[in-house]
Amino acid sequence: MLERLRLIGILAIVLLGCLTVLNLLVVIPAVEMGQQVSLTPGLSYRCIMSTLAQGLGLVLGLVLLKDARTRNYPGWLFLWLSWSISLLPQLQVFLKGEVIFNPISWMIVFTAQAILLPVRWRLHLLSQVVLLGSVGGAVLLGFENVHFATPPNLSPAMASAMYSLVGFQLFSVCFISNLGVYLYERMMRQEFELRRQIRLFLHAVSHDLRNPVLGTLMVLRNLRNPSGETVLSQGILDRMIESGDRQVELIDSLLEAYTIETQGIQLHCQPLSLGNTVQQVLNNLYPSIQDAGAIVSVKLPDTLPLVEADPTQLHRVYQNLILNALRYNAHGLHLSLSAQVMGEYLRCTIHDNGPGLSAEQCDQLFNLCTRGPNARQTLGLGLGLYICQQIIEAHHGTIGVSSTCGQGTTLWFDLPIAFPA
């Protein structure tokens, strides 16, 4: 931002000098000869004094840009440079009880700011509001000499129409400039966040794929025997198979995420009983639940309506959510599975009594490659919740999380009812 501010200052000085020469050599002599514009005397003197004030303000801004103390406040430096161009001439004429309304020059200044420095749209808005507010305030205070950049020999109706049109054009330029800065700034933040997630993703991939390979290599090196005879115990074989299975699982999760991104999820929906699906998932996860010492309570009444869902994908959603809760919480977790009707959807919830999540963790929980607070203690690329979100959205539902630190976490998702009333 500081380099762009320096560019703005230098460019403004160059353009200001060119404009001053043009006014002194061409515009002012033509005005004085034509005598068609009623302006106060001493146009050349006023032009020179205004240029000097603007130039000094810009030079002082460039000097401040080199000071280490002021470089920590780029927002104030931006406002100083902006007001040096637009507000200083107003302050000069305010002292004489006059006002200058020059919308064309202001449009150029606002547009140039938005193009050369498309960040911090609030600063752009502040620079515009202060300038236009000072002009409006001076008029309301009764300043009699108001100089408009329009011919004076217009009828009151034509003058009013022209001022309205020019005011609308100035407002449009300000609005479009600020909107462009806001959209560009938001796009840059999204790109920065995406780059950050990619870096985290590459780190997770390299870490989680490297460990199983290193484990296998260590076993193979220990088995190397100069005599040529190698004996593998059952325990060693089990560890090597477990390591290979882990690598395949990680690679499959990568391929699955890539397939979802490029081809989407293919669903084969049918009316399903949520209770039966949950019971099947719990039966399959029984060893993991036992190892974690978890207690699972199911609160799904038989009166719940059927849901329109893909049985395989719904099974994966519940499995991922339950395993995620077991993986990132302490031993002896309590899980509660429930559901309730929400209009034409059935809201399914999974609540745990773990330590909970912060607001920032809740906002990023379903992002690509996001892992829990205890990620260092587990293996995985953090794709499970992201895949769950894609599956639920493919069912035209929504998924979310609500949590408070120290009060557990509730994961919920909505599925369409098969036969809504």
In this prediction, residue 379 carries a pLDDT of 39
Q: Which two tokens stand for residue 148?
A: 């408009």
151-183 pLDDT, tens per residue? 556 566 776 777 778 788 888 888 998 899 899
In this prediction, residue 413 carries a pLDDT of 92
In this prediction, residue 159 carries a pLDDT of 64
364-416 pLDDT, tens per residue? 777 755 554 444 334 344 577 888 888 898 899 999 988 877 778 899 999 99
The overall average pLDDT reported for the chain is: 78
Statement: residue 96 has pLDDT above 70: yes
Q: Are strands 334-342 and 345-352 parallel, antiparallel or unpaired?
A: antiparallel
In this prediction, residue 200 carries a pLDDT of 66
Nearest Cα to Cα of residue 123 among 75, 169, 87: 75
Q: Categorize the per-residue pLDDT at 40 as very low, low, confident or very high, splitting at 50, 70 and 90.
A: very low
Structure-model confidence comparison of residues 370 and 336, the more confident one: 336
Structure-model confidence comparison of residues 318 and 74, the more confident one: 318
291-314 pLDDT, tens per residue? 888 888 998 888 889 999 988 888
Angle at CA 193, nearest 5°, toward 368 and 121?
145
Exposed / middle / buried, residue 67 (Cβ in 10 Å: 0-12, 13-18, 19+):
exposed
Return all residues near 3 (Cβ < 8 A) that are at least 6 apart.
none
Mean pLDDT within 317-325: 87
Whether the CA torsion 119, 122, 125, 129 is positive or negative: it is negative
Q: Are 127 and 83 in contact (CB under 8 A)?
A: yes
